[in-house]
Amino acid sequence: MTTLWKKSGPSQHPAVSNYIISPECAEDKLLLEYDLQASLAHSQMLHHVGLINAKELKLLTQGLKKIQELNHDGNFTWDRSDEDSHTAIENHLTHHYGEVGKKIHMGRSRNDQVLVMTRLFSRGKISTIQGILLSTTHTLLQFAKQHEFIPMPGYTHTQQAMPSSVGQWAGSFVESLLDDYALLESAHSLNDQNPLGSAAGFGTSLPLDRDFTTQALGFKRTQINALYCQNSRGKIESFTISALFQVMLTLGKIANDLIWFMSKEFDFFTLDAALTTGSSIMPQKKNFDILEVLRANVSSIFANQVELQMVGHNLISGYHKDLKITKKGLIESFKIVEESLKMIILVFQHLKPNPEKLEQSFSVEIFATDQVNALVQQGVPFRAAYQSVAEQLHTLKKPDILGNISSKKHVGATGNLCLKKYARQIKELKIRINRL
């Protein structure tokens, strides 16, 4: 086989191809299905504008679908001599279907091929993650409902601050994930635009119908400016990873909280032993490795985001080979987030609060602010009430803790978490996803 750009002259030094091609092959193989989808749409468009005839379209369609079958069965392979999946597709079509295979590349470049297959991949992956995120949110919401009024200390500066509840703690992550969902919506919208037909980044003199492939591939709109199509490579991937990073920040905070709150020093929650690991030397250990790995993966996603931002920030307009590395971090980030969401679902399905430990952990001082507010309601100015309580902390007594958290009725307080609002929002988002 040969590269698409091979001309007369000396052969490329093998060290060059080894350096610039081999690391990318794994990503190309994962994205091949989307390259084939775009190639089918491109072939249909070429026929639509009269650049190939019906017989040629039939042969190209037959050939591309055959490659899809081979790929599905794991039998479509290529090596460094093919350079990439785009070359492998054209070489296969030319080898098995003759001269028509040489026409598949009319009006396009590998530049816009990479763009369109990455957009198709990302669009689908974002939708998948949105669905799993809503399942995760639902699981957390059920946990919050079930344990809504179990008292739990609230912390600031890693010290007990004010009374909270398991419901408020879990509910905070429900709302956080719903915000993360909105960011994923924005990422989906950016990926839902068609760059195919922008070619190398400057358009082409051939009479392409770019809106035709937009419709054929189910994109919401055509990305218009051919040069911006190329300049958006790395930018849109970076924003996508940024949205994924926000999801991981939420999950990482859950993981970090639980790692501390399940330690012997707290013992606020118990996780099923089947979800823990052990120690090779300490027989008593039950380690929360899944949460620790999840917490570490937050940094992995952030590293991928920074890499993409750094790769593209100092390039002049147009395509550069630097951009080849943008695929790896994107693919890895999708995988990590999808797996991490599933792990959080599993954790909360096997997590139980320990009410006695939670109540016993309440210090007397944690009720100091409530005592200040009680004086305020009697007409004492706030600062005077604050000073009075501060000077008499030793006289504070524990009130009825359940009564304390239940009595706070403003929106978002422990006695009014508005969990039904979250339930309605989740239901509406699930309906919207099912319509897509």
pLDDT for 336-374, tens place per residue?
999 999 999 999 999 999 999 999 999 999 999 999 999
Kindly state the average pLDDT of the residues 238-254.
98
Positive or negative, the CA dihedral 90, 228, 190, 251 is: positive
Q: Are 147 and 166 in contact (CB under 8 A)?
A: yes
CATH of the domain at 130: 1.20.200.10
Q: Are residues 270 and 303 located together in one domain of the fold? A: yes
Of 110, 103, 24, which is closest to residue 64 (Cα–Cα)?
A: 103
Q: Are residues 102 and 116 located together in one domain of the fold? A: no
Q: Is 7 inside any structural domain?
A: no
Q: Are residues 95 and 120 located together in one domain of the fold? A: no
Q: Given this model, what pLDDT does residue 347 score?
A: 97
Domain carrying residue 54? 14-106
Angle at 79 between CA 76 and CA 84, to 5 degrees: 85
Q: Given this model, what pLDDT does residue 11 score?
A: 65
Q: Given this model, what pLDDT does residue 81 score?
A: 73
* Global pTM value: 0.92
Of 261, 239, 251, which is closest to residue 351 (Cα–Cα)?
A: 261
Confidence of residue 23 (pLDDT cuts 50, 70, 90): very low
Q: Is 420 inside any structural domain?
A: no
Q: Which amino acids are annotated catalytic?
A: 157, 279
Kindly state the average pLDDT of the residues 51-78.
96
Give the chain's domain count. 3
Q: Given this model, what pLDDT does residue 79 score?
A: 74
Q: Are residues 370 and 338 located together in one domain of the fold? A: no
Q: Given this model, what pLDDT does residue 21 score?
A: 59
Q: Are residues 53 and 187 located together in one domain of the fold? A: no
Kindly state the average pLDDT of the residues 149-169.
98
Residue 434 has pLDDT above 50, yes or no: yes
More confident site: 5 or 254: 254
CATH of the domain at 82: 1.10.275.10
Residue 388 has pLDDT above 80, yes or no: yes
Q: What is the percent of the chain where pLDDT is above 90?
A: 85
Q: Is 292 inside any structural domain?
A: yes
Q: What is the percent of the chain where pLDDT is above 70?
A: 94
Query: CA–CA separation, 58 vs 53, rounded Å?
Result: 9
Q: Are residues 145 and 279 located together in one domain of the fold? A: yes
Kindly state the average pLDDT of the residues 383-397.
95
Q: Are residues 100 and 123 located together in one domain of the fold? A: no
Query: CA–CA separation, 394 vs 360, rounded Å?
Result: 18
Maximum alpha-carbon separation in the chain: 93
